[in-house]
Amino acid sequence: MSLKVGVLGYRFMGKAHANALARLPMFFPDAPDVERHVLVGRDEEALTEAADRLGFENTSTNWKEVIDEVDVFYNLGPNFVHAEPSIAALEAGTPVLSEKPLAASLSDAERMADAAESAGVPTATAFNYRFVPAIRYAKRLIEDGELGEIHQFRGKYLQDWLVDPEAPWSWRNDAELAGSGALGDLGAHTIDLAQFLVGDVERVSGHLQTFVDERPVEGEDETKPVTVDDAYSAQAELAGGVMGTFEASRFATGHKNDHTIEVHGSEGSLKFSLERLNELELLRDDNRGYETILVTDESDPYIDHWWPPGHVIGWEHTFVHENYEFLSAVDSGEEYHPNFADGLKVQTVLNAIEESDENGEWVSVE
Ligand code: SOE
């Protein structure tokens, strides 16, 4: 029997996940059978066009009608839409994947994580960068002690799509609808990777900045206020006294999707760049400096599913790996990470960074 998937949202993330679902039977024959059953949205015309293009059998303009008709519910809507449909789906016993950050507010994220715990079904917060082979390999190296005792983690996520003051306003610029700006949209990925690779964030000191306070509304003769950060930076203490520095910007001129991670340990260091995601830079001997490791063969857990070594993969493959792992967990009932509890852990850090920016003091992450 195949798993019927219902997907809310058909734009950027809808396309990324629909592509992943379509790739599974071709490249991951051991994945459960999946049916792209129903696509959910508000604009009927756009929805019908998207459903045809993305291979969905049905459409619905009412998520309430689909949450107990499907075996899995994907919530890929804007942040403020994450809580209500996801909680309702969980109350109907349906496993849920939600895009990141988990919610637009800490209280919604808490309600979502509580609903997940009560439902006892697999959930996912879509931190797709955990599924880059080089990141999986980095985790293995760190866990095997190859870098020795970890002292520092540094993560930067740089984009530039808002540097033009005339770039239009969108829900991503509104605190009610998005929660935060670069912090929640980009920083959430970095903080999740820090917690995945190194350990929990225990306290933070944060700084948020908005460079352009209002933006034009597309097609209208008006502007709307920007109520979120355009950039943030934070220093952090992670479990075991690891020192962390995090940064993200939508104003980093010339940087399109530049997410970099660095880890320093007593025996070595590593560097990862999303723009070169097939590689990992590794330093284990200071006389030789960093070596570029091509993440293939035994260092890539997914290689057998794709191409021969050296035939590189890209950004979209991270979604295929993520969907494969999540749907396999739904099928087998096994535990899946990153789940809603992991999403809540990140949201708690985001909240602490905002609080620290407001009161000018370090804040403990409870
Ligand atoms: C923002 O531009 C964005 O699309 C994020 O929302 C995604 O999470 C990130 O992967 C790429 O950039």
Residue with CA closest to ligand 1 atom 9: 186
The response to whether residue 99 sits with its C-beta less than 6 Å from ligand 1 reads: no
Whole-angstrom distance, CA of residue 97 vs CA of residue 127 = 10
pTM of the model: 0.98
Ligand 1 centre distance from Cα of residue 117 (Å): 27
Ligand 1 centre distance from Cα of residue 100 (Å): 9
Whole-angstrom distance, CA of residue 174 vs CA of residue 187 = 17
Is the C-alpha dihedral spanning 139, 344, 8, 34 positive or negative? Answer: positive
Instruction: Please count the other Cβ atoms lying within 10 Å of the Cβ belonging to residue 211.
Output: 14
The response to whether residue 249 sits with its C-beta less than 6 Å from ligand 1 reads: no
DSSP state of 295: -
Whole-angstrom distance, CA of residue 321 vs CA of residue 166 = 37
- Domains in the chain, CATH or no CATH each: 3-128 (3.40.50.720), 132-313+340-364 (3.30.360.10)
Residue 173 phi, psi (nearest 5): -100, 5
The response to whether residue 159 sits with its C-beta less than 6 Å from ligand 1 reads: yes
Residue-level pLDDT at 366: 85
Three-state DSSP class for 242? strand
Whole-angstrom distance, CA of residue 99 vs CA of residue 79 = 8
Ligand 1 centre distance from Cα of residue 186 (Å): 6
- Atom number in ligand 1 closest to CA 129: 10
The residue whose CB lies within 8 Å of the most ligand 1 atoms, and thus the one to mutate among 127, 185, 250, 350, is 185
Kindly provide the ipTM of the predicted complex, given to two decimals. Answer: 0.95
Q: List per-residue pLDDT tens for the chain, 366 residues long.
A: 899 999 999 999 999 999 999 999 999 999 999 999 999 999 999 999 999 999 999 999 999 999 999 999 999 999 999 999 999 999 999 999 999 999 999 999 999 999 999 999 999 999 999 999 999 999 999 999 999 999 999 999 999 999 999 999 999 999 999 999 999 999 999 999 999 999 999 999 999 999 999 999 999 999 999 999 999 999 999 999 999 999 999 999 999 999 999 999 999 999 999 999 999 999 998 899 999 999 988 899 999 999 998 899 999 999 999 999 999 999 999 999 999 999 999 999 999 999 999 999 999 998
Peptide bond into 95 cis (omega under 30): no
Residue-level pLDDT at 158: 98
